[in-house]
Structure 1
């Protein structure tokens, strides 16, 4: 079973749909805690590390053999909990960051300022010393639309920001909630989002864990 740690309930149907399309039969357990993001934004991700660890430990006790954290802001502290949990933990944006790190010029777009620094740091980590020209863009007013439940307005604002980006090789949508904005853009630059590659990588972790257990 794959446990998914979310900081918004909107991710539950989105990841269920991806599972049904790409990985039918994969058992998911959704853990949703909106307060984790609120506190991480106010106090920093480390402020919620203990609570993240406790949530994930409970999921492992109840049968999770891997964890996927879908929040970019707290993804790092989730991955840091892996050693204590004894199961693999993946932040959803790591596979996307690995692809972005192979590009020379990268624009990172986010609706939350707290997401920008962790995403940039992750791309540099995946670049492993290779030069990457990174620029960031915070989409003003987008998160307020998301919080108000105006999902179309949120996606349109993100898409408009993407369409205004020039002079890069790839555009990164830093938050999982932005994924559907990619289909609303007219920019010819490749636009990367995290949910599909993240879930695929997590499904592979589940398969590897099952294979190891069978040996």
Structure 2
């Protein structure tokens, strides 16, 4: 039986080579289909994630109708809305940051959520609290916005973007784990020197989505 195609919903084209590289390293030969919709993030930032909910639902339904077995949403800002709408219409969807949140909760009670977009902080905080409740673990969540990092990312200054994130992470005190809330922040995970787990979403998110595709074949 053929494994279902995995479609990835991105809000920036920079995520395409990241996930292609992870696929080649961890899941060689696995078919990926990339959907890039930068407008969804722009509108979600300006008007709130619910403003794009109907568009996301239409996109998800169309993507499955065109042959995708599972959708992986790689944007944390719209992840909660995408997850809710997918559940409502029966589309198999994996939110890229949910496995990361579960990993952070398992590391200890105090979790710091670090983001470069303010619109990502609220959804990611709620996500961490959901995973803590699911695991039956108490959690204290703090949030950190890395000022200026997103502007550098948009300008193509990836090194400057990562350096600001690393500096913010290494300045943290009294936390058990750190969540890098956006897939675009993943490079900072390996460079931070803070002696606690610093977790990012692309690798565990892709792994979860690939497993979801395999489950579809078994069922």
**TM-score, shorter chain, exceeding 0.5:** yes
> 5+ unaligned residues in a row in structure 2: which ranges?
none
In structure 1, C-alpha distance between the alignment counterparts of 2:217 and 2:91, rounded to whole Å: 12
- Return the alpha-carbon distance in structure 2 between the equivalents of residues 197 and 83 of structure 1: 21
- Match of residue 93 from structure 1: 97
In the alignment, does 2:42 pair up with 1:29? Answer: no
SS of the aligned residue for 1:99 comes to: helix
- Contact 1:81–1:89 under 8 Å retained in 2: no
**TM-score, length of structure 2 as denominator length:** 0.94
The residue number in structure 1 matching 2:75 is 71
The TM-score normalised by the length of structure 1 is 0.95
- On the 8 A contact 1:60/1:85 being kept in 2, the answer is no
Alignment partner for residue 172 of structure 1, among 148, 168, 179? 179
Once the two structures are overlaid, the 10-residue window that deviates more, 40-49 or 52-61, is 52-61
SS in 1 for 2:68: coil
SS in 1 for 2:77: coil
Describe the SS at the equivalent of 1:136: strand
How many residues are aligned here?
A: 212
On the 8 A contact 2:60/2:86 being kept in 1, the answer is no
Matches within 5 A, 1:80-119: 80-102=84-106, 103-119=108-124
In the TM superposition, what is the alpha-carbon distance from 1:160 to its structure 2 partner? 0.8
Q: CA deviation at 1:85?
A: 4.3
Q: Per the alignment, in what secondary structure is the counterpart of residue 18 of structure 1?
A: helix
- 2:50 is aligned with 1:16: no
Q: 1:211 aligns with which of 180, 201, 218?
A: 218
Moved more, 173-182 or 122-131: 122-131
User: Deviations for 1:24-65, whole angstroms, at most 9, x for unmatched residues?
Assistant: 121111110111011101111010011111112221111100
RMSD (Å) for aligned C-alpha atoms = 1.1
Unaligned runs of at least 5 residues, structure 1:
none
Give the whole-Å Cα distance in 2 for the aligned partners of 1:183 and 1:157: 14
In the alignment, the residues of structure 2 paired with residue 182 and residue 11 of structure 1 have an alpha-carbon distance, to the nearest angstrom, of 16
